[in-house]
Structure 1
Amino acid sequence: MILVIAGCSQDGDAEIEHVTTLDIAEPAYAPAAIEQAEMVAESRYAPGVPSAGMPSDLFINRDENRERYSGKDVSAIRIAANEPVSTFSVDVDTGAYANTRRFLTSGALPPESAVRTEELINYFRYDYPRPTDRSKPFSVTLDAAASPWNPAARLVRIGLRGYDLPRAERPAANLVFLVDVSGSMNDRDKLPLVKQALSGLAREISPQDKVSIVTYAGTTGVLLEPSSNPAEIRAALAQLQSGGSTAGAAGLDLAYAMAKKGFIKGGVNRVILATDGDFNVGIYDTDALIQKIEKQRDSGVTLTTLGFGTGNYNEAMMEQIANHGNGNYAYIDTPMEARKVLRDEMSSTLFTIAKDVKIQIEFNPSVVSQYRLIGYENRALREEDFANDAVDAGDIGAGHQVTAIYEVIPAGAKGWVSDRRYQAAAKTTPGVHASEAAFVQLRYKLPDGEKSRLLQYRLPASALNTRQAPRGDFAFAASVAAYGQKLRGDTLLAGYSWDAVEGLAGRQDEYLRQEYLALVETAASLN
C-alpha cells in the first residue's frame, strides 16, 4: 500500500506544500496511517483559523503559544584526564520524538528545548540480541565505529535489550486511567484521541486485570469502578466530554487512592494520566507535583503520563513527573502513535523487569583523550550516585531497548578542545589497563528488589582503532543521533548536512523508519 501525506505551511504570503510518500508494508498500520494523513491534511488553514486537527495558527501566532519545555543545554565536552567517569540514568521515554514529529509535520521546527536526542534514538528498535539468561533481565551490547561527522572521533554505542514477557507470564495489572476532561481538552487531537488510545489499551487487558477510570476538570470523580470487562471500559470512555478548569493535582490524589484501593500484591499497579498538562487549579507547580509523586511511588504505584495536544501543552511537567513516578512518558500525536504505545508496546509500557537502572562508564585517559555523551542531559547523575541504592533512576519494561552513544577522541588525535599549557607534563602514561578503552558498569534492581545488582564490561582499546563507518542498525542510530543534535542546534554538527543525515540512515523498508526519512527531508526544507 502506498500512502501520500500532503500538508502545507506558510512563509510570509506564500503557501508551501509538503508531499510525502510512504510505502506501508505493515497492513495493520494502514487504517491508523490514513487517519493520521487526514489529520495532517486538516492543518491547511489560513493564519488565525483553528484547525480541527493540528492547527497551523499554533506556529504562526507565536504569542498565543503557551507550550512549556525544560530542555537543558547540549552536553559539554569532557577531558578524560580530568573527568574520566560519566554516570547517567537510563531513559526509555519516547515522547520527544512524537512531539518533534508533530512540529515538523505541521510545518515548523521544534523548539530546541523540546528535543531530547536520547528519546529520538530510543523511539526505534535495534538488532540487539535477546537475553539468554532470565537471571539478567537485559542483554548488553558494546560496539564502536568511526564518527561519520568527525574523522578524528569514534562513536561508542551501549545497547540494552530487556527480555520479552510472554502474555501467559504477565502479572495481573491494576490500572487507573486518569483522564483530563477540562475545557482545554476540547480539540480533536486531545480528548477524542485520548478515548481512542485508552480504548485500544482496554482491548489488551486480560480477565485477571482490572481498570478504573478517574476524571478531573474543575472537580474530580470516579467514572468507572474497577472492571475487567473491555466493553464496559470502552463504553465508559465513550461518555467522556470536556469542560471546566483543570484540577490536575486533585485528580492525581484520587487516582492514587483508587490504585491503592485495588492494589494487587506482586502485580502491576499504575496510574495512567492522559492530559495536555495544563493544570490551573490547586497545585500546578512542577516541583510541588514532583514531591507529591515521589511520596506515592514508594507505595508501589507507578505513573505513566500520556501527553496530547498543542498550544498549551506542558511537556516540562509531563516528562518530569513520569520520571519521578517510576513510569514512562509518551506523547500521542496520531492514532498510529496511540497504537504503537498502548497496544504494540503494551508490555514494555506497563511491565517493569528492572528498576533504578544506572550506567557508568570510566574512560581510560591513556586511550581516550576527550568524550561527550549524546543526549541524556536531564538524566545525568553524580559519580557517587551510581552505588547509592537510595538514588532513583530509570526503569526498563519487558522488551524495552535503551541505546546510549558516546562520541570520543582517541588519545593522540585532534580533539575539540586544544591541549592546555600545562597539560603535557600531566599526561597519563599507559599502565596495566592499556588494553582497555573504557570500563562499563550497570546497576539495576529487580522489580521487587531493594538492593542493586552489578554488571561489568570492558571496551577493548582495539575497538577504537577502526576507521569503518557505522553499518546497519548502528548507522541508523547514528543518523537519528545526528538528526536530534542538529535540531538541538549542536554546533559540533553544524557542518554535517541534512542530506548526509538522511544518507547515513540508508534505505529503509519498515514504516516508522520510512517516516523518519521523510521527517529528515522536512527538517532540511525548514532550515
Structure 2
Amino acid sequence: METNGTQPGERRELRSRHRTRRLRATLLALTTAGGLLLTGCGAGGGSHSSSSDGANHTGFPAPAVTSGGEQGEDQNGERKDSSADEIAPSPDYLSTFALDVDTASYGYARRVLADGQMPDPSTIRPEEFVNSFRQDYDRPDGNGFTVTVDGARTDDTDWSLVRVGLATRAADDSDERPPAALTFVIDVSGSMAETGRLDLAKKSLDEMTDRLRDDDSVALVTFSDEAETVLPMTRLDGHRGKVHDAIDELETQSSTNLGAGVETGYATATDGLREGATNRVVLISDGLANTGDTNADSILERIADERREHGITLFGVGVGSDYGDALMEQLADKGDGHTAYVSNDDDARKVFVDQLPQNIDLTARDAKAQVAFDPETVARFRLIGYEDRKVADDDFRDDKVDGGEVGPGHTVTALYAVRTRPGADGHLATASVRWLDPDTRAPHEESGQLETGDLHDSLSSSPNTFQVTAVAAYFADSLRSADLPGDPGLDELATRAHALAKKTEDRDVRQLAEAIDEASRMN
C-alpha cells in the first residue's frame, strides 16, 4: 500500500515543501507551455478540466519533473537522498502508471470459477476486472481522452474510493476508420484440440472475416513445432472465400513453439505491411509454450525492429481451461497491445465482432496517467491493481518511456483507496493523462480534479457504474487475499452485485454476480 502518514509538525513541513513544489511546478509549466501540444477535451462527470499547459492553475498542480540534489520521501514515507547527477525522487502523493485495457484476467477467473475451482491469486489483476465493465464517461470528439474523477466514502472510517475514468472517442463501424491489415497467428498445438480452443478460434475467425470491410486484409500464420504462413496478406475484396478455406483447413498438431509463431507472424505482417492502414498481429493461443523460446522478452526482442519501426501492435486472445496467463500478458504489454480471454461463443463474438473497431484502430500511443493527491487533505492512498504497469513519477512526461496503446470505444478506469485527514475539506486530487497522437506522435495532455465535497456520502448513493466498479475491485482483491478498506466480504458483494444486475439489466453485471456466487460457495 502507498502510504503517507504524518504528525502535526511533519504536516507543517509537508505543506511548506508542497508550496515550494507548487511554485516550482508553476514556473516550469509557464516556461515550457509553448513546447507542449495539448488538446482541450473537456472533463466529464465529477471532474473539472484543468488548463492544458502541464499545470493546473485552479487547484493542485500537475507535477513537473525537477532536477537532482534535493531530498524527498518515497511512497512509504521514508526519506531518501538524491545525488546532483540524478533526478530527484518522486514527490509524495503521486501515483503514475501506463494505461491498460486488458480484460483477460477477469475472463479467465470467471472460467476457472465456473469449473468449480478458485483462480490462482497470481493471475488476478484487479484493473482487468474493473475494465471489463461499461462506463458512462463523457467521450471526446477526436483522438485522445476525457478525464472523469469521482469518489464515494466507504463504511470504513475516513476511507473513500476514488475513481479516475478515461474515455476515448466512440468506436466507429463506418468507413471512417482506416483499413486494417491483420495477421492472425494461430496456435495449432495438441493442447488446442480441447473443445473451446481451436474450434472456437476457427468459428470466431469465420464470423469476423464476414464482418471486415472489402479494403481490409488478412494473413494467417500457424504454429506448433514450427511456424508456417498458410495465407499471405490478402485483400478481402473478392477473396473472402480464400480466407474461409484457409481457416477451415486449420488442424491441431503437436508441441507449442509460440516464439516461432510470433516471429513468423511479425515477419508476415512486415511483408504485407500497408501504409495508411492499422497493421496488427493477433495472437490466438492458450499460452502454454513448451518448445523453443518461451521468454516474452527474448521473443519480442527478435522482432523489435518490425514492432518499433512499423508500429505493428500485438493483440492477444487467450483460450482454454489451462491458460498461460503470465506469458500472454507479458507479450501483449511488451508488444504495445492488450489481451482478452474467450471461453465461449458469446465471449468470442464480443471480442472479434462487437469490439472489432477497438481491436483494430488506435487513438492514443504510449498513454500514461498520473494522479496527484493533495497532502493537506489526503493521509494515505493505494492504487488498486496496475502493479505491472507502474511508471516512475518523473517519467510521466518523458515520451520515450513506454505507455499503453488505446483504441476507440475504450474506457480505462483506475480505482484508489484514499484515507482523508480528519475534517479535511477542499481539493483532494488532480488526475492527468498524457499520450502521443497515433499518427504524428505529438504529445497531448488533459486533466480533471476532485474536491472532498464532491465525494458521495456512501457507495450506495453513488452512480450504478461506480458501484459496479467498486464491487469488481473488491471481488478481485478478495480473490488474491488482499485487504481493501471497507471490504464487505463475498456474501455481501454477491448481494450487491445481484441488486445491481437487476437494476441495470446488464448481462455483464449478472455474470459478475454469478462469479461472486461461485467464489462465495468455495470460500
SS, match of residue 478 in structure 2: helix
Deviations 1:427-464 (A, max 9, x none): xxx9xxx8421122110111123332121222224234
- Would you say the 8 A contact 1:130–1:163 is kept in 2? yes
Q: Which whole-Å CA distance do the structure 2 matches of 1:80 and 1:494 have between them?
A: 27
AA paired with 1:512?
A: D
- Would you say the 8 A contact 1:171–1:268 is kept in 2? yes
- Would you say the 8 A contact 1:486–1:493 is kept in 2? no
Q: Which whole-Å CA distance do the structure 1 matches of 2:76 and 2:160 have between them?
A: 15
Moved more, 393-402 or 499-508: 499-508
State yes or no: 1:317 paired with 2:324.
no
State yes or no: 1:343 paired with 2:357.
no
AA paired with 2:340?
A: A
State yes or no: 1:164 paired with 2:156.
no
* Correspondences of 1:27-42 after superposition (within 5 Å): none
Moved more, 286-295 or 156-165: 286-295
Moved more, 361-370 or 240-249: 240-249
State yes or no: 1:282 paired with 2:288.
no
Q: Which whole-Å CA distance do the structure 2 matches of 1:78 and 1:461 have between them?
A: 24
* Correspondences of 1:42-121 after superposition (within 5 Å): 83-121=92-130
| C-alpha distance 334-172 of structure 1, shift in aligned 2 (>3 A) | same
Q: Which residue of 1 aligns with 2:152?
A: 145
SS, match of residue 371 in structure 1: strand
Q: Which whole-Å CA distance do the structure 2 matches of 1:86 and 1:465 have between them?
A: 23
Q: Which whole-Å CA distance do the structure 2 matches of 1:95 and 1:382 have between them?
A: 25
Q: Which residue of 1 aligns with 2:337?
A: 327
* Correspondences of 1:424-439 after superposition (within 5 Å): 435-439=426-430
Of residues 200, 205, 226, the one that matches 2:233 is 226
Deviation at 1:286, TM superposition (A): 2.7
Deviation at 1:78, TM superposition (A): 5.7
State yes or no: 1:485 paired with 2:477.
yes
Q: Which whole-Å CA distance do the structure 1 matches of 2:380 and 2:136 have between them?
A: 28
Deviations 1:56-90 (A, max 9, x none): xxxxxxxxxxxxxxxxxxxx986699731100111
- Would you say the 8 A contact 2:332–2:338 is kept in 1? yes
Q: Which whole-Å CA distance do the structure 2 matches of 1:125 and 1:248 have between them?
A: 33
* Correspondences of 1:332-371 after superposition (within 5 Å): 332-371=342-381
* Correspondences of 1:102-251 after superposition (within 5 Å): 102-131=111-140, 133-134=141-142, 136-147=143-154, 149-166=155-172, 167-227=174-234, 228=236, 229-251=239-261
Q: Which residue of 2 aligns with 1:525?
A: 521
Moved more, 503-512 or 268-277: 503-512
Q: Which whole-Å CA distance do the structure 2 matches of 1:329 and 1:211 have between them?
A: 20
Deviation at 1:139, TM superposition (A): 2.0
Identity over aligned residues, as a percent? 33
Q: CA RMSD in A?
A: 2.2
Aligned residue pairs, count: 429
Deviations 1:227-247 (A, max 9, x none): 313333222111111112222
Of residues 372, 379, 399, the one that matches 2:382 is 372
| C-alpha distance 517-79 of structure 1, shift in aligned 2 (>3 A) | farther
Deviation at 1:256, TM superposition (A): 1.1
| C-alpha distance 295-412 of structure 1, shift in aligned 2 (>3 A) | farther
- Would you say the 8 A contact 1:482–1:493 is kept in 2? no
Q: Which whole-Å CA distance do the structure 2 matches of 1:468 and 1:272 have between them?
A: 39
| C-alpha distance 294-376 of structure 1, shift in aligned 2 (>3 A) | farther
Q: Which whole-Å CA distance do the structure 2 matches of 1:153 and 1:80 have between them?
A: 23
TM-score by length of 2: 0.78
SS, match of residue 326 in structure 2: helix
Point out where structure 2 has 5 or more consecutive residues left out of the alignment: 1-73, 80-90
- Would you say the 8 A contact 2:148–2:448 is kept in 1? no
Point out where structure 1 has 5 or more consecutive residues left out of the alignment: 1-75, 414-429
Q: Which residue of 2 aligns with 1:61?
A: none
| C-alpha distance 140-520 of structure 1, shift in aligned 2 (>3 A) | same
- Would you say the 8 A contact 1:485–1:493 is kept in 2? no
| C-alpha distance 493-198 of structure 1, shift in aligned 2 (>3 A) | farther
- Would you say the 8 A contact 1:358–1:386 is kept in 2? yes
| C-alpha distance 476-465 of structure 1, shift in aligned 2 (>3 A) | closer
State yes or no: 1:510 paired with 2:506.
yes
